Amino acid sequence: MSKQSELKKLAYLTLRNIKLYFKDKMTFLVSLITPLILLLLFIAFLKSTYQDRLLSITAGFELDQSLIDAFTGGWLFSSVLATSCITVAFCSGMMVIDKINKANVDFIVSPVKKSTLQLSYVLSNLFSTLIIALVLLVIGLIYLAFVGFYITFVDFLLILFNIIITSLFGTILANIIWTFTHSQGVVSGVCTLVSALYGFICGAYMPISMMGQGMQNFVSLLPGTYATVLFRYGFLNGILNEMGKTLPQGMIEGIASSFDVKLSFFGSEVSMPGLVLVITISTIVLLGIFLLINGLKKRKKHKKFANK
């Protein structure tokens, strides 16, 4: 079978998986639970809590309301994207759903390579996550356009890059786990766990600076934290620059540290390129693990055949 033909199969399989995900309303809604929780939390009390915190840091200085609104809005949408890129990736995978519905058997009896099928799951998972993340980004940008827009073109590109790399990270991590399970229970369990926990451990629900030192050290070891901080940087850097016109630099540093625009790794500040590097290398390492697992599984199957 030619490479072109295999690519065509990959394209159709990927399309089929994406279509199935968006047609399954239940799966789709479950994967949006985390951003919805965040939105509710924000409307209920997070917005005022963060406004108060910001005002307490800048006490004695006048701050324009549009800057405050843009800051809290930027913080909300950086949280929404930081969590969604991971939780949607975990909840939008079709691999296990196919195993449960036995659709995978239909693909085994079709002339399509196992690697093509596997890759289609990863790609569709990634594209579904990206579609949702980009829709959330557009909503966020529209909201910020109303309350106060300070995102530069470079920051916007950084946000886009971060959406892609974090979604890829979440997708590969999820697919590594899905490779080992056939159970809907495990999928639901992992999905719920990730949706509930990830927002806390990546610093999306509350700033890392508000956590205890032990917890701060722990989350600084997780690649997801770096993605969150990178999102904060993309959304809030422009606002901080704007604030810098009226507030002293030390105060800006304080705000940046308090709201996770900067991350400290065991006392040393991680630069923006450092953040990019950590999340990129982590994704490459995960990809290597994923390929290794699939390679070993394939070898094991061949060995089984050869021994017959």
Partner 1 sequence: MHIIEIKNLKKHFGSTKAVDGISFSVEEGDLFAFLGLNGAGKSTTINILVGVLTKDSGECFVNGFSIDEISKILPSIGIVFQSSVLDKNLSVYDNLKYRAMLYGMSKKEFEENLKFFTEKLELQEIIKKQLNKLSGGQKRKVDIVRALLHKPKILILDEPTTGLDPKTRKLVWDMINKLRRETNLTVLLTTHYMEEASIADNVVIIDSGKIVAEGSPLTLKNKYASDYIKAYKYDEKIFEILDKTNIPYKKDKKSLEIKFKNTEKAKNFLVKYNTLFKDIEIVKGSMDDVFLAVTGKELKEHV
The least CB distance from residue 303 to partner 1, in Å, is 11
First to last CA, the chain: 26
- Report the length, in residues, of the chain: 308
Q: Which is nearer to partner 1, 249 or 307 (CB)?
A: 307
Residue tagged 């829709």 (tokens): 135
The alpha carbon dihedral of 81, 199, 294, 292 has a sign of: positive
d(CA 150, CA 152): 6
Q: Which is nearer to partner 1, 6 or 253 (CB)?
A: 6
Q: Which is nearer to partner 1, 59 or 109 (CB)?
A: 109
Burial of 107: CB neighbours in 10 Å, binned 0-12, 13-18, 19+:
middle
H or E element that contains 234 = helix 223-243
The least CB distance from residue 125 to partner 1, in Å, is 16
Q: Return the bridge partners of 264, or none.
A: 269
CA 51 from chain centre, in angstroms, equals 25
Question: Which spans of this chain sit near partner 1 (rule: CB under 8 A)?
Answer: 1, 5, 8-9, 12-13, 15-16, 19-20, 23-24, 101-103, 105-112, 301, 304-305, 308
Q: Which is nearer to partner 1, 70 or 117 (CB)?
A: 117
Q: Which is nearer to partner 1, 112 or 239 (CB)?
A: 112
The least CB distance from residue 12 to partner 1, in Å, is 4
The least CB distance from residue 24 to partner 1, in Å, is 6
The least CB distance from residue 177 to partner 1, in Å, is 23
